[in-house]
């Protein structure tokens, strides 16, 4: 499985979201500054609401730009059987082998899902419950995670 292809897919996803955020921010900015948005009464808050939206979208744009930069600079290396799970690792649990499912520990964009070379890959972050459960673990280590009423007990069968 090619980690570089996964990273390319994540970057493409982030760039698409960035483009949408730029359009939304531009539209919100136009709405906030448009003559039609001027308040006619004290209860007319369209311009204020649009300015808050534009500000929020600007923050989101910065987040996408930073995420793209981080993924473009992400150092990918192959992990061996003796390496602990860390940022950039692909990890497979015993119960996921039949489903051909892997976890990729990425710096951000947790929840992103890709299908590459007939393998299903979910990006998780070190801050996520699954990321915390996997970080520092080795092949053949037990993995336990409890989230709400749900529990997961499994074993790492592969890290690369």
Q: How confident is the model at residue 44 (pLDDT cuts 50, 70, 90)?
A: low
Confidence of residue 72 (pLDDT cuts 50, 70, 90): very high
Look at 17-26, 33-42, 137-146 and tell me which has the smallest mean pLDDT. 33-42
Mean residue pLDDT of the chain comes to 92
User: In the predicted model, is pLDDT for residue 33 greater than 80?
Assistant: no
Write down the pLDDT at residue 6.
97
Percent of the chain with pLDDT over 90: 77
| Average pLDDT score over residue span 95-116 | 97
pLDDT reported for residue 27: 87
Can you tell me the distance from the alpha carbon of 16 to that of 21, in angstroms, rounded to the nearest whole number? 9
Condensed to tens digits (0 to 9), the pLDDT of residues 115-157 reads 999 999 999 999 999 999 999 999 999 999 998 899 999 999 9
pTM confidence score: 0.87
- Lowest mean pLDDT across 26-30, 43-47, 61-65, 115-119: 43-47
Integer angstrom CA distances of residue 40 from 9, 44, 45, 52, 82: 47, 6, 9, 19, 69
pLDDT grade for 36, boundaries at 50, 70 and 90: low
What secondary structure does DSSP assign to 56-81, as a single string?
HHHHHHHHHHHHHHHHHT-------T
Does residue 136 contact residue 29 with C-beta atoms inside 8 Å?
A: no
pLDDT at site 29: 80
Question: Is the pLDDT confidence value at 41 over 80?
Answer: no
Mean pLDDT calculated for residue range 84-92 = 97
């Amino acid at each position: 499985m090619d980690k570089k292809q996964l990273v390319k897919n994540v970057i493409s996803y982030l760039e698409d979201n960035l483009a949408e955020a730029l359009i939304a921010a531009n539209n919100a900015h136009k709405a906030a500054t448009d003559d039609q948005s001027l308040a006619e009464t004290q209860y007319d808050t369209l311009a204020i609401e649009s300015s808050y939206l534009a500000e929020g979208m600007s923050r989101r744009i910065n987040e996408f730009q930073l995420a793209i930069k981080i993924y473009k600079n992400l150092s990918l290396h192959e992990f061996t059987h003796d390496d602990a799970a860390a940022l950039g690792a692909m990890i497979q649990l015993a119960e996921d082998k039949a489903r051909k499912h892997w976890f990729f520990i990425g710096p951000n964009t947790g929840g992103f899902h890709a299908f590459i070379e007939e393998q299903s890959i979910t990006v998780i972050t070190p801050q996520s419950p699954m990321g915390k459960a996997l970080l520092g673990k080795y092949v053949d280590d037990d993995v336990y995670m409890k989230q709400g009423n749900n529990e997961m007990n499994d074993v790492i069968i592969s890290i690369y």
